[in-house]
Amino acid sequence: MSQHPDINDNINGANTTDEQNPNSTNPMNPEAQAATDTAISIDANASSQNEPTEGKHIRIVNTFMKRRTHMNKNAELALTAPEFAHYLVNNSFGDGNLDGINDLRVLFADSPNGSDAPLTVEIGFGLGDSFIEMAAAEPTRNFVGVEVHEPGIGKCAYMAGTQGLTNVKIINGDAIQLLKQLPENHIDRIQLYFPDPWQKKRHYKRRFVSPERMAIVTRSLKQGGWFHTATDWEHYAFWMVEVLDGFAGLTNQAGAGNFTDRPDFRPMTKFERRGLERGHGVWDLIYIKD
């Protein structure tokens, strides 16, 4: 596999600049594009995201931009009605406060699978259709979904409830913050499907797949555990394989430099379908923790 011509040392964040291609658009994800544009001003004014340390401020760069979109009736019902409450680990409306969530396995202690069942965590499930399909297909495995988008959280909880799933929990908040709070060697599989591509060079630092964030992901995986990602954004695909192949502690199950065939167990996601309709390719990667 040859390297994508545009991949450069921005992967390490050291060389991130504010260069912008004014013609750059995100045909796959207009919301992320809008978010990308908004991010410029939000970054500049996001004092609430700054953490003081010894008189300095460290800017926290998030991989998401919270967007307000329509909440349908079913999603709203699931976020408010008591019969869905057991799917929602923390407050599903609002700020995604993760205080006290230090162990995902205990969330299933009273469920039929119990807390020792294999555990999959999906980061950024969107509206949750493929996440719920996977959970329904593997009832003896526990699934935790993490999202910041409340209409998606509501829709996902609604689907889990109407299907009577007992192996699903949903967390509202930043997956990176959550993973930092968890024990090491905790999760069997982490999946990240069609993450926002943040295609402008000056926003590469928001890409979920980066050496810093992969250190956090890898720490929380069990030995032999998987990190599975997929994208329809070619530049990001080659960026991912470069970051992940270079990351000590993870092994590309398709061999260094290679993408994996699309596995049957991964249902098509909303963003994948949108990308395919626009003529994009799809690239899957599975890495095993050494």
Other C-beta atoms within 10 Å of 68: how many? Answer: 8
Question: For residue 259, which of 275, 273, 238, 274 has the smallest C-alpha distance?
Answer: 238
Q: Residues near 22 by Cβ (< 8 Å), separated by ≥ 6?
A: none
Query: Using the rule CB under 6 A, is 195 a contact of ligand SAM?
Result: yes
Q: How far is the CB of 208 from ligand SAM (least distance, A)?
A: 6
Interface with ligand SAM includes 35 (CB under 6 A)?
no
State which of residues 146, 153, 190, 241 lies at the interface with ligand SAM (CB under 6 A): 146
The residue among 214, 220, 212 whose CA lies nearest residue 285 is 214
**Angle 278-137-273 from CA coordinates, rounded to 5°:** 5
Binding segment for ligand SAM (CB under 6 A), chosen from 41-49, 75-83, 100-108, 188-196, is 188-196
Rule CB under 6 A: is residue 135 a binding residue for ligand SAM?
A: no
Contact 278, 252 (CB under 8 A): no
Name the closest residue to ligand SAM (Cβ): 124
The contact pattern for ligand SAM, residues 226-245, with x = CB under 6 A and - = no contact, is --------------------
Query: Rule CB under 6 A: is residue 89 a binding residue for ligand SAM?
Result: no
By CB under 6 A, is residue 126 in contact with ligand SAM? yes
C-alpha separations of 50 from 35, 57, 59 in Å = 19, 6, 5
270 near ligand SAM (CB under 6 A): yes
Output 170 or 241, the one with its CB closest to ligand SAM. Answer: 170
Q: Does 194 bind ligand SAM (CB under 6 A)?
A: yes
Q: Which of 33, 36, 63, 120 binds ligand SAM (CB under 6 A)?
A: 63
Considering 37, 196, 264, 290, which one is annotated as catalytic?
A: 196
Measured CA to CA, the distance from residue 93 to residue 172 in angstroms comes to: 8
For ligand SAM, the closer CB: 117 or 144 = 144
- Given the rule CB under 6 A, which of 17-25, 74-82, 118-126, 157-165 is the region that contacts ligand SAM? 118-126
* Selected binder of ligand SAM within 87, 158, 193, 247 (CB under 6 A): 193
Size of the site for ligand SAM (CB under 6 A): 25
CB of 134 or CB of 272, closer to ligand SAM:
272
Q: Is 129 a catalytic residue?
A: no
Q: Which residues are catalytic, by number?
A: 196
Q: What are the residues binding ligand SAM (CB under 6 A)?
A: 29, 32, 63-64, 123-126, 146-149, 152, 174-176, 193-196, 208, 269-272
